[in-house]
Structure 1
Amino acid sequence: MVHEVRGVVAKAKGQPVSIETVLVPDPGPGEALVRVQACGVCHTDLHYREGGINDEFPFLLGHEAAGTVEAVGEGVTEVAPGDYVILNWRAVCGQCRACLRGRPWYCFNTHNAGQKMTLADGTELSPALGIGAFAEKTLVAAGQCTKVDPQADPAAAGLLGCGVMAGIGAAINTGGVTRGDSVAVIGCGGVGDAAIAGARLAGAARIIAVDVDDRKLEWARGFGATHTVNSAETDPVEAIRELTGGFGADVVIEAVGRPETYEQAFYARDLAGTVVLVGVPTPEMRIELPLLEVFGRGGALKSSWYGDCLPSRDFPMLIDLYRQGRLDLDAFVTEKIGLDDVEAAFDKMHSGDVLRSVVIL
């Protein structure tokens, strides 16, 4: 059986998205059919539309999603029809060298559904991050479904599928923030604010938010920032040092993905401190640092892949914290919209008017 659904498709580089009829096949071996309930509008979706990921157009956009499993294919045991799930884009294989060394969050062989969703004329679609959830139903690998508490609001829960998990994980999993640490976060969009929330969850004593927009800095305070720095008005490196006794922060999280902000992060950390890059750079970007400084400051320079998360471990835990009132996922949801409003949501993202627009299906 083939399911006809409405979906948001990017047909060509830089062109506005359109609503198209998408044909979704029944799940085959190892696959799951998911009825999408909500999906966040992430900057990665805009990267796809702009050709910043690859040129495998047309793309079925959307990937920060929660929904209900409708059907599963042969051999699927992880989930069953009726399960409420968050979708993830790292279905671990269990067999690669990272998995076999007990580090599945670094899985080098993550996988997606084998069958293709198509347009009505048979044109194969490339689903964003192997998910394609700006649609009423989508087909994924069963390992991309993580079962969580069904009482969690899908608009909030789905955000763990990408940006919020990336930020929280950058602080807790990659950065190793712990009780009493000082933390600076450069860039206070959705991922940066999630890193702030993660630092607060981990017990950081001082959390310094850095951005050029006072409105975003005010949002950052709501997620747990104890201090804010407008880097359009103040040297952020000097400000972070001043707020940390002249030493620099124990952990600095760069959530912008630009050479100049990465350099700020490098010099704003304490000796033996950690820099975490979670902002996504573009291919042409380069950075130059004195090698003696890299050596002399010690510590660690890390990149955070998806918050170094293991969805089966982290999603249920974070949903439990949300249900307990200890993690305010609702605060990330700026507006709830329909499928027809995705293009307008991209415009709001550009202007910095939203943390997350969330499509409700």
Structure 2
Amino acid sequence: MGHEVRGVVARERGKAVGVETIHVPDPGPGEALVKVRACGVCHTDLHYREGGINDEFPFLLGHEAAGTVEAVGPDVTGVEPGDFVILNWRAVCGNCRACLRGRPWYCFNTHNATQKMTLADGTALSPALGIGAFAEKTLVAAGQCTKVPAEASPAVAGLLGCGVMAGLGAAINTGGVTRGDSVAVIGCGGVGNAAVLGASLAGAARIIAVDIDPRKLDLARRFGATHVVNSAETDAVEAVRELTGGFGADVVIDAVGRPETYRQAFYARDLAGTVVLVGVPTPEMKLELPLLDVFGRGGSLKSSWYGDCLPSRDFPMLIDLYLQGRLDLEGFVSETISLDDVEAAFHAMERGDVLRSVVVL
């Protein structure tokens, strides 16, 4: 029979989103129906609305979510009705060459629900990152559900589903930050401040937050930055070098994803240091660097896919740290809103007024 629910839909490139009635099928083989309890407003959703991901309109937006499993299809064993879960957009297959080599966080064959959610007239929807969680219920592959303790607040748990996990993982998993390291993070929005938090959690000795917005730099201090640099007022590369004895940071994380910030990251690292790109560039962007500098400075230039996380490993561990009071996830929630407020939340994000607006259902 399926379910008629309210969801936030982007019908056209660059046009305001609206709340519409959508049809969600009952789960088929390998699928789970999830009652969404909270979903963060991520910049990726805005990219979808602007056509920056692809042109497969209309989109059912929302992906940074937590909820309760309501039903599962045949052959599902990992979760069951009543489980409190965080949704992820990289359900690993277990059989591709990355999974078989013991690197499932790189899975090259991640999957989503097979059935389509639709508008009331039957038009198929493209769910953002295969999730579509700005809705009262959504249909996902069961592997996209990671069970976590139900004591966690849905408004903060869902943030691990994308931005916060991306930043934490960029520092801990991709960057390999460890005790005593110096770390610089360029761009202190939700992902960047999560990278600051990850570096602090890993025991970095010096954490330098770089941004052009003093409000975001103030938040970076809350998450563990030992120093802040306003790059609208001073040269970021020179400032990072000065704060690291003239050498540069051991790990520099670009949480913006623009050619100019990547160049800053490249030259702000120490010799043999690591650059991690976790900010998402747009298709037209190009990067030019002297090849001799790439060779001569050594080290590693890495891209971080979803913080190189393994949801089944990382989500429960991070929720446990949150419940112990050791992981400040609540600091990312700037406001809680309804489905009807998503368009306004996009504008607040563009103005830099929020780290995360969170839809609570």
Task: Indicate the residue corresponding to 2:291 in structure 1.
Answer: 291
CA distance in 1, matches of 2:236, 2:72: 51
Task: Indicate the residue corresponding to 1:14 in structure 2.
Answer: 14
Structure 1 residue ranges (4+ consecutive) displaced by more than 6 angstroms after TM superposition: none
The TM-score, its normalising length taken from structure 2, stands at 1.00
Task: Indicate the residue corresponding to 2:179 in structure 1.
Answer: 179
Task: Indicate the residue corresponding to 2:50 in structure 1.
Answer: 50
CA distance in 1, matches of 2:114, 2:298: 44
Task: Indicate the residue corresponding to 1:212 in structure 2.
Answer: 212
Structure 2 residue identity aligned to 1:94: G
Task: Indicate the residue corresponding to 1:25 in structure 2.
Answer: 25
Counterparts in 2 of 1:156-305, with a 5 A limit? 156-305=156-305
Structure 2 residue identity aligned to 1:7: G
CA distance in 2, matches of 1:78, 1:54: 31
Task: Indicate the residue corresponding to 2:90 in structure 1.
Answer: 90
Structure 1 residue identity aligned to 2:300: A
Task: Indicate the residue corresponding to 1:319 in structure 2.
Answer: 319
Identical residues among aligned pairs (%)? 85
Structure 1 residue 155, shift from structure 2 partner? 0.2
Task: Indicate the residue corresponding to 1:121 in structure 2.
Answer: 121
Structure 2 residue identity aligned to 1:246: G
Structure 1 residue 254, shift from structure 2 partner? 0.2
Structure 1 residue 2, shift from structure 2 partner? 1.1
Structure 2 unaligned blocks of 5 or more: none
Describe the SS at the equivalent of 2:5. strand
CA distance in 2, matches of 1:288, 1:350: 27
CA distance in 1, matches of 2:343, 2:2: 27
Describe the SS at the equivalent of 1:23. strand
Structure 2 residue identity aligned to 1:153: S
Describe the SS at the equivalent of 1:164. helix
Structure 1 unaligned blocks of 5 or more: none
RMSD of the TM alignment (CA)? 0.4
Describe the SS at the equivalent of 2:188. coil
CA distance in 1, matches of 2:2, 2:278: 38
CA distance in 1, matches of 2:292, 2:281: 24
Describe the SS at the equivalent of 1:314. helix
CA distance in 1, matches of 2:156, 2:95: 32
CA distance in 2, matches of 1:282, 1:47: 9
Describe the SS at the equivalent of 2:193. helix
CA distance in 1, matches of 2:6, 2:289: 49
The TM-score, its normalising length taken from structure 1, stands at 1.00
Structure 2 residue identity aligned to 1:257: G
CA distance in 2, matches of 1:128, 1:42: 11
Structure 1 residue 311, shift from structure 2 partner? 0.2
Task: Indicate the residue corresponding to 1:143 in structure 2.
Answer: 143
Structure 1 residue 286, shift from structure 2 partner? 0.7
Describe the SS at the equivalent of 1:16. coil
Structure 1 residue 123, shift from structure 2 partner? 0.4
Structure 1 residue identity aligned to 2:208: I
Paired residues, number: 361
CA distance in 2, matches of 1:153, 1:194: 18
Give CA-to-partner distance per residue, 1:54-103, whole Å, 9 cap, x none: 00000000000000000000000010000000000000000000000000
CA distance in 2, matches of 1:181, 1:149: 32
Describe the SS at the equivalent of 1:334. strand
Structure 1 residue identity aligned to 2:293: E
Structure 2 residue identity aligned to 1:42: C
Structure 1 residue identity aligned to 2:9: V
Structure 1 residue 151, shift from structure 2 partner? 0.2
CA distance in 2, matches of 1:287, 1:12: 30
